[in-house]
Each structure stands twice: as structure tokens, then as C-alpha cells.
Structure 1
Amino acid sequence: MIVGLTGGIGSGKTTIANLFEQEFSIDIVDADIVAREVVEPGTPGLLAIHSHFGNDILTPQGTLNRTKLRECIFSKPEEKQWINDLLHPLIRQRIDLLLSQTTSPYALLVVPLLIENGWHKTIDRLLVIDVSPETQVKRTCQRDQVSEKQVRAILTAQASREERLALADDVINNDSALNQQRKQQLLSQITELHKKYLALTQPFL
């Protein structure tokens, strides 16, 4: 059984996914990590990007210059589309492979843009990490050292809070700061969800 885990920027997806892994040894496939893997040196993804954009797209160490790539596609929709057409199938292929190799009773597929990219149609259950837009802005500004304007632009490009909640099978509210008391509350919620997911895995065994 595949449980999709998603939430907007700054919602705490990684924190909660890690708790599932640490407490219950649940296998995690993280789309952000896969997206980096498919453009590592020597991969078909990076070779194609290098061929398309030229030497400027690489750092002196031969890795992808992400800042330069953002500049190349920021104001050119056709270049952004080219990148998406190249990378999305590679990411999907790698994720399918990793999911096929999981051994825990169910697997967590962590995808930031799960709803936006239609992944919710391919999973068995959707867990949404829900926070207010105000919390998202505050956390992301602190974490990434970016302006509020930038964060709000990202929020506009993502599915709305209402859209995510409308599709959710399960919801964890993660608005509060992660102190020891809050961590215990999260663990209690995660434990209940784990029990539920174990019961739901029976038809898959």
C-alpha cells in the first residue's frame, strides 16, 4: 500500500515522514531526493541538460548549477516545459523502482507537488500535513532566508490549503512549533495512523 504524504512549503513534511521511519521503520521514497539523484554527474538527465544549455549550466565541479538553471527557465516557459518533459519521466521511473523495492507493510511517498502533478490518482491513501499560510510564510522565511514576497509567490503556485484538504484521506495539523510536548502529540497521531494503515494493508498482502 502506498500512502502519499504532501503539504505546502514549510508544512513539516520531512519531519513527520522521518517520525514514521524512526518509530515504525516505514520505508520512505522522497521525490525531492529523487529529483536531485536524476541530475547527478554522469546521469542521462544531467547529460541532456548540459547538451541543451551548454557548459554554463555546470559548476566547476561538474554538478548542475541550479541557480543558473533557474535563471534559464525563469522567464522562458518553453525552457521550463523542456526541463519538465525531460525530468518528470526520469523521476517517475526512479520512484516506481524505489517503491517496488520497499519492504515495510506500507510505504510513504513524499511529494511536495503531489496534487499539482496528479500523483494523488496513483496512490492508495493521501495524508496531508496541514498548516496555515501564515505559518508557512514564517517558517520558510526563517529556514531559507528568503523574503515574504518570494514565499507568497511559491504559495500562489501551489495547490491551495482547501484543495489539499478536500482530497485528503487523513490530516495532521502541524501549525505549532516542534517542542517536546508537540513532538509527543505528533507521535500520538502518527501512532494512530500507523495502526490504521496496518489494518488497511491487509487486502494488499
Structure 2
Amino acid sequence: MLHLALTGNIASGKSTVATMLAGHGATIVDADQLARDAVAAGTPGLAAVVARFGDGVLQPDGTLDRAALRQIVFRDTTAREALNGIVHPIVGRLRDEAVAHARTRGDQVVISDIPLLFEVGLERAFDGVILVDAPAAQRLDRIVRTRGLPAAEAQAMIDAQWPSDRKRQGANWVIENDGDLMALEAQVAALWSTLLTLPKPRPLPQRAPAADTTP
């Protein structure tokens, strides 16, 4: 089984690429969905988040108020690290379970969609890394338009992640999402054709040296 990571900064179009790859036959393990499962109502994960950040991050129905939590963590590095320390281990366990199920089924290409792949140092845990990228100004505009957020808040979300240039150094393949949907589909189709020619699980194209991890 070929197990790849798919990553990309916020508003890069990573989720769209994941959907396209699924259409070609890839099994997608979605970290965003796993993160939601990790802090679903009644879970130990949600209890840990509330214990750290207080009842102000809860909706009246007892579910997580993601907007309230986002306001805290995207402006406070310590708070963001604390949240990651709670959620990431749970997500990792859920991902391992999903990948194990895929392996048991005999799935040939499994792609783990992980937004913070490089930030949490997971890039070398996979057979290869696919990065979806778009210019920062274009991503900022997408966040403002599609999420209805103020530009300052959108920029804070962008600044909370590694810059794209740093991630490119550790990626095996880069999908450039700076054009229209047709151009994106063509790149994904070409990538899929390449993936089908790769031996499973190795070898893969040689990675560039790891990026400098100095903040």
C-alpha cells in the first residue's frame, strides 16, 4: 500500500484536491474530520479542551464553539501549542486506525490529508508528500470571501502556519492552485497517473533536504 501525505496552507485548495484524488480512486483519511471527531461532544478530547480553555469555548448545546476557540489560539502561540498537544495525539490514533482498516481492505493508495504536516514534524512518516499551494495574497482573498472573516483575522490564520516556500523544500510533488478549476483538475490527473506507476511502497523521488526548523 502506498501511503502519502497531502498538505497545504489554509485556503490553498487542499480539500478540493483531496476530493479530486478520491474521485480517481484514492482512499482519503481527512485530518480535519478526525480533529472534529477528537473533540466531539462527550469525548475526553473535548473535556480536555474545556479544562484548558474554559467553558467559554462551548456552545449552549455542549458542543465546541470553534469560532471562540479560533479567536484564542490564532493569536496566542502558547495557547495554540496547548490545543495541539491535546488534539494531535488523539487524531494520530484515529488516523492509525483508519490506515490500518484501509490496509486490511487492500486499498492501494491511501492519502492522509494533514494541514499541519510540517508544523508537527510528520512529513517523514509517509512514503511521499503532496503539497497544494497558492500565492499568499490569493489565499487571503479566498479566506475573506468564503469565510466572511475580517482581513486581520484571516491574516492571523495564515501567519500561524509555516510559509509555503519552507514547505516546498520537503514536498515530493507540488500542485499549483493559482488558476482555474480545469487547470487544477489537469494537474491532479497527471499526478494520479504518476502515482500509479510508483512501486508500492518504495522507492519514491528523492526528497530535498529537510527545511530549517528554526522559528
The reply to whether TM is greater than 0.5 is yes
* Matching residue of 2:198: 200
CA distance in 2, matches of 1:199, 1:7: 24
Residue correspondence of structure 1 range 1-205 to structure 2 within 5 A: 1-22=2-23, 24-70=24-70, 79-102=79-102, 103-178=106-181, 182=182, 185-203=183-201
4+ long deviations beyond 6 Å: none
TM-score using structure 1 length:
0.85
Q: In the alignment, is the contact (CA less than 8 A) between 2:3 and 2:201 conserved in 1?
A: no
Aligned length: 198
Q: Deviations along 1:38-95, whole A, 9 cap, x unmatched? A: 1111211113334455544432212112234345556665554433222211111111
Q: Deviations along 1:89-146, whole A, 9 cap, x unmatched? A: 1111111111112243111111111111111121111111121112111111111111
Q: In the alignment, is the contact (CA less than 8 A) between 1:38 and 1:90 conserved in 2?
A: yes
- Which 5+ residue runs of structure 1 have no aligned equivalent? none
Q: In the alignment, is the contact (CA less than 8 A) between 1:13 and 1:129 conserved in 2?
A: yes
Q: In the alignment, is the contact (CA less than 8 A) between 1:2 and 1:125 conserved in 2?
A: yes
- Which 5+ residue runs of structure 2 have no aligned equivalent? 203-215
CA 1:153–1:55 in structure 2 vs 1: closer, same or farther (change >3 Å)? closer
CA distance in 1, matches of 2:162, 2:79: 23
Root-mean-square deviation (CA, aligned residues, Å) is 2.2
Q: Percent identity between the aligned chains?
A: 31
3-state SS, counterpart of residue 167 of structure 1? coil
In terms of fraction of residues, the more helix-rich structure is: 1
CA distance in 2, matches of 1:162, 1:77: 21
CA 1:137–1:58 in structure 2 vs 1: closer, same or farther (change >3 Å)? closer
What's the offset of the Cα at 1:172?
1.2
Q: In the alignment, is the contact (CA less than 8 A) between 2:20 and 2:185 conserved in 1?
A: yes
CA distance in 1, matches of 2:199, 2:43: 35
CA distance in 2, matches of 1:122, 1:26: 18
TM-score using structure 2 length:
0.81
What's the offset of the Cα at 1:3?
1.4
